Amino acid sequence: MEWTVKSRTLRSIWRTLVSMLTRKGVATRARILDAAGELIAQNGAAETSLDDVRVATGTSKSQLFHYFPEGKAQLLLAAAEEQARKVLDDQRPLLDHLDTWEAWHQWQQLILDMYAPKIEYCHLAALTSQFPKNDPQIGALISGLFGQWQERLAHGLGNMQARGLLDPNTDTERLAVAVLAAIQGGVAIGQATKSLTPLEIALQAALDHLHTHETVPA
Amino acid sequence: MEWTVKSRTLRSIWRTLVSMLTRKGVATRARILDAAGELIAQNGAAETSLDDVRVATGTSKSQLFHYFPEGKAQLLLAAAEEQARKVLDDQRPLLDHLDTWEAWHQWQQLILDMYAPKIEYCHLAALTSQFPKNDPQIGALISGLFGQWQERLAHGLGNMQARGLLDPNTDTERLAVAVLAAIQGGVAIGQATKSLTPLEIALQAALDHLHTHETVPA
DNA sequence: CCTAACCTGGACTGTGAGGTCCATTCCTTT
DNA sequence: AAAGGAATGGACCTCACAGTCCAGGTTAGG
């Protein structure tokens, strides 16, 4: 009992200080964010009106501005952050342990399986091609995503060097960028041609390129 | 004299039947198209209003609709076609004769030199990231661009196979797609990070990958 | 159970932008 | 040089859409 009371009190303080959102509130906010992300991924940010979001979520204008007081720009940024987070999260935990060739090939397969159902509306394509690139905040977000992604890939490659699986003289950062570019390019071309094949090919070529620097542990 | 008269007559007929544009007319149309392309490349199609184009070209609303009766959609498509044309034309004549390793390396350098000054506003980036992808006509245009580009690359690789410079068992179409994805991905990442380096790295990796299939003529 | 804060509905407003219209000027052809 | 059509200027219209406001309901916490 006392524990419950304490919990309630803390919760109250937390709400007051941090976000002032009740359980129902966060649910509604999440609903708006999800629908916005979906709509934007399909139709683009410019073609997605707040009314579209409103209808899709069964909410009202006032709620949109209640949860995103700065309006559409804030909603867009929040939706973009969500997409960026998903791009990396969808690859975990594999992404954080690319320490063996086996792991790389599992990851390759994961990427393909992940994007197979709807390459046109995948999180990466949505982020890089449906959001307004000119918004400096969104631009920074995308740039940051690529940075983190590259770091994860390079980190795995570094571990492989330590294990003697990869030529210690190769620049892991460069290799990571090459792999990243292959994915991004494959997705972009695949989005345009509505086909998964370009991504398959590009990713396979990138992996082949990695194997070029393979070594056997002593 | 008579020749002149005949020429004039033909010109009149041509104008009547084909486009009804005088010399001044085509100049103005081109001016509008150029400015529109520039503005869209920098700010995106959605953020470029007809008034922006009007001001940039010193024209009037009526002229925009005189030359593009179907309005903004038509102007956008025409501007996109222009960009797509330039992407390939800027690479010629090298693009059509990628028959030797030397040619490939010259082409690689050309791409880099071409995109170095302003990777953010290069024709390719503009086309694939600033135009509305959801427009089916523009989508088809971009898809077509990739198709032609791939065909040119594969054609060169085919010639190299014929010359014994490339392993005859490799799939030239696949290789072409891999190179294309590297470029597209490099440009996209470079645009996000405002750097040419990703394109350099990706393109070099793609070329390295090509060399993997190199053979020496008998 | 009460009260204060959060949550929600829906009407309202302002404006930016696409598109229309017509008068006027300029050019081309005969 | 006259006439017909193209080129141009600019006012005007319409409307979608971002953003505002307030009243009423719902929930949390004491």
Residue A166: how many other CB atoms lie within 10 Å: 22
Give the confidence band of B217 by pLDDT, cuts at 50, 70, 90: confident
Rounded Cα distance between A6 and A10, Å, is: 6
* In the predicted structure, residue B118 carries a pLDDT above the cut 50: yes
Q: Closest residue of A to B48, CA-based?
A: A46
**B193 in contact with A, Cβ within 8 Å:** yes
Task: Please report the residues numbered 93 through 132 in chain B whose beta carbons come closer than 8 angstroms to any beta carbon of chain A.
Answer: 128-130, 132
Exposed/middle/buried for B215, CB within 10 Å: 0-12, 13-18, 19+? middle
Amino acid at B213: H
Answer whether B202 sits within 8 Å of A209, measured CB to CB: no
Tell me which residue of A210, A206, A98, A95 sits closest to A162, measured CA to CA: A98
Rounded Cα distance between B178 and B5, Å, is: 55
According to the model, what pLDDT value does residue A1 have?
Answer: 33
Answer whether A208 sits within 8 Å of B206, measured CB to CB: no
According to the model, what pLDDT value does residue A119 have?
Answer: 93
Mean pLDDT for B192-212 is 98
| Strand D footprint nucleotides (protein C-beta < 7 Å) | 5-12, 16-23, 27-30
* In the predicted structure, residue A2 carries a pLDDT above the cut 50: no
Q: Which tokens in the block code for residue A177?
A: 């960028």
According to the model, what pLDDT value does residue B10 have?
Answer: 58
Q: Per-residue DSSP letters for B55-99? A: HHHT--HHHHHHH-TT-HHHHHHHHHHHHHHHHHHTTTTGGGG--
Mean pLDDT for A171-191 is 98
* In the predicted structure, residue B8 carries a pLDDT above the cut 90: no
DSSP for residue B46: T
Please report, for residues A40, A84, A138, A141, B181, the alpha-carbon distance to residue A144 in angstroms, rounded to integers and kept in the order given: 20, 9, 10, 5, 21
Q: What share of chain B in percent tops pLDDT 70?
A: 91
The model's pTM is: 0.92
CB-CB contact of B119 with B191 (8 Å): yes
Q: How many CB pairs under 8 A join A and B?
A: 144
Three-state SS at A214: strand
Rg of chain A in Å (alpha carbons): 21
Give the confidence band of A14 by pLDDT, cuts at 50, 70, 90: low
According to the model, what pLDDT value does residue B6 have?
Answer: 43
Region for A164 from its dihedrals, namely left if φ exceeds 0, alpha if ψ lies in -120 to 50, beta otherwise: left
pLDDT in tens, A138-163: 999 999 999 999 999 999 999 999 99
pLDDT in tens, A29-82: 999 999 999 999 999 999 999 999 999 999 999 999 999 999 999 999 999 999
Q: Per-residue DSSP letters for B151-196? A: HHHHHHHHHHHHTTSB-TTS-HHHHHHHHHHHHHHHHHHHHHHT-S
| Strand C footprint nucleotides (protein C-beta < 7 Å) | 5-12, 16-23, 27-30
pLDDT in tens, A82-113: 999 999 999 999 999 999 999 999 999 999 99
Three-state SS at B128: helix
Rounded Cα distance between A15 and B195, Å, is: 42
pLDDT in tens, B75-110: 999 999 999 999 999 999 999 999 999 999 999 999
* In the predicted structure, residue B18 carries a pLDDT above the cut 80: no
According to the model, what pLDDT value does residue A207 have?
Answer: 98
According to the model, what pLDDT value does residue B3 have?
Answer: 35
Give the confidence band of B5 by pLDDT, cuts at 50, 70, 90: very low
* In the predicted structure, residue B11 carries a pLDDT above the cut 70: no
